[in-house]
Amino acid sequence: MEFSKIVKKREFTILVLIIVLGIIFSFTTAKFLSKDNMTNIMYQLSNLIISAIGMTMVIITGGIDVSIGSTLGLSAVVAGMLLTNNTSLFLVILAVLGVGGIVGAINGVIIGYGGIPAIITTLGTMNLVRAFLFQVLRGRWITGLPEGVRFIGIGRFLGLPISIWIAIVLLIAFSYFLRFRPSGRYIYAIGNNIEAARVSGVDPKKIQFIVYLFAGILAGFCGLIYTARTGIVQTNTGMGFEMDVIAAVVLGGTSTTGGKGTILGTLLGAILVGIIKNGMVLLNVPALGEGLVIGLLILVSVVIDIIRSQGD
């Protein structure tokens, strides 16, 4: 590929931004480039990346899922309760995938088969799942996980966190799915033009169902990683997580009007969000400003996208 083409790519712009921010943070803070901090960023990135894969597919279809923060929370609670009762890890994995799958399937049925707008549906389930989580937890905290099971959250393999390896495997798998599998291509098709897709034999309802199901399952799995990493689950676990994920996906170039987006872009978007959040903590910017920065980033990146697409 010619250099000029690469430069014009969305992914390239984000990469440059990541490098520039990295340089700024490494000069302005003493800790940014330290090995501890880098590992720390990676630990936090794994959940963001895994959930962002699901959100990428959702947004490619022109939808949105704001319920994944609650889904992560509920699944973290289930994982925490089962792990403290010494349930085998295999069963715990099945359980968290089940929790995520149920929430995702509910969203998928209502949005795909019921024809209710995604923002309405997931806003509803977001609150319903949070209420359910609260009922299960009743204001308590879950702590005291057996040390043996925490390797999913804090263990390492070949120097990298195991959770990052999981994220890498999922990134590759879903890249392949989106690019080469027919169902993956259909996701783009219904995002581009739902009527045209229908005429050419794609079942939009089924594809939408699958997309929200995946988003739920991936967020559910993140719940397990969360519990294993932090060793503590509270009623507000996962609150606001959906915002970081949406920011990562939108920054990564996935078009919110549907039909466009790549897993690679999302990975870079997630890294950018992760670095910004980390840098703000290191620079002692109050956490209150985080919403401002993330919100502005989303708007700016969408505006740039729109200006670009008008240029084409």
Partner 1 sequence: MRKVWNSIIENRFLFLLVLTVILFLIFSFTVKGFSTLYNLTNMTQYAVELGLLGLAETFVIISGGGGIDLSVGSMMSLSAMLIGVLIGKLGWNLFVGVLVTLFAGIIMGLVNGALVTYVRIPAFLVTIATLFIYRSMALIVAIDPKYGPNPMPISSFKESFYFIGQYKIFDYIPFQVVAIFIPVLIITHLILSKTAFGRRLYGVGINEKAALFSGIDPKMVRLFAYSISGLLSSIAGWIITSRIASARPDVGSEFLLQAITIAVLGGVSISGGEGTVLGVLGSVIVVTILYNGLELAGINPIWQLGALGVILIGSVFLNKILLERRRL
Q: Binding residues for partner 1, per CB under 8 A?
A: 64, 66, 110, 114-117, 119-121, 123-128, 130-132, 134-135, 243, 246, 250, 256-257, 286, 288-296, 298-299, 302-303, 306
Neighbours of 306 (CB within 10 A): 12
Q: How many Cβ atoms from other residues are within 10 Å of residue 242's Cβ?
A: 23
Residue nearer to partner 1 on the CB measure, 106 or 207: 106
Nearest CB to partner 1, comparing residues 167 and 249 = 249
Q: Which is nearer to partner 1, 59 or 162 (CB)?
A: 59
Distance CA 83, CA 91 (A): 10
CA-based max dimension of the chain:
59
Q: Which is nearer to partner 1, 92 or 297 (CB)?
A: 297
Report, in Å, the least distance between residue 1 CB and partner 1. 30
Q: How far lies 6's CA from each of 11, 37, 140, 249, in Å?
A: 8, 31, 51, 20
119 alpha carbon, distance to own chain's centre: 17
Q: Rounded to whole angstroms, what are the CA distances from 191 to 47, 78, 216, 245?
A: 25, 34, 19, 19
Q: Among residues 19 and 120, whose Cβ is nearest to partner 1? A: 120
Which of these, 213, 204, 212, lies nearest to 186 by C-alpha position?
Answer: 204
Which of residues 144 and 295 has its CB atom nearest to partner 1 in the complex?
Answer: 295
282 burial level (CB within 10 Å; 0-12, 13-18, 19+) = middle
Q: How far is the CB of 277 from partner 1 (least distance, A)?
A: 13
Tokens representing 51 are: 């959930």
Torsion sign across C-alpha atoms 224, 230, 233, 234: negative
Secondary element (H or E) of residue 202: none
What number of CA atoms fall less than 13 Å from residue 89's CA on the CB side?
Answer: 13
Q: How far is the CB of 80 from partner 1 (least distance, A)?
A: 19
Query: Rounded to whole angstroms, how far apart are CA atoms 100 and 219?
Result: 6
CB of 199 to partner 1, least distance (A): 22
Cα-only R_g, the chain: 19
Angstrom distance (rounded) from CA 64 to CA 121 = 10
**Shortest CB 19 distance to partner 1, Å:** 25
Provide, rounded to whole angstroms, the least separation between the CB of residue 289 and partner 1: 6
Nearer of residues 98 and 124 to partner 1, judged by Cβ: 124
- Identify the CA nearest to 71 among candidates 94, 105, 21: 105
Where are the extended beta strands (E) located within the chain?
156-157, 160-161
CB of 246 to partner 1, least distance (A): 7
What is the nearest approach in angstroms of partner 1 to the Cβ of residue 129? 8
Minimal distance, residue 53 CB to partner 1, in Å: 19
Residue whose CB is less far from partner 1, 162 or 190: 190
Closest CB to partner 1 among residues 168, 280:
280
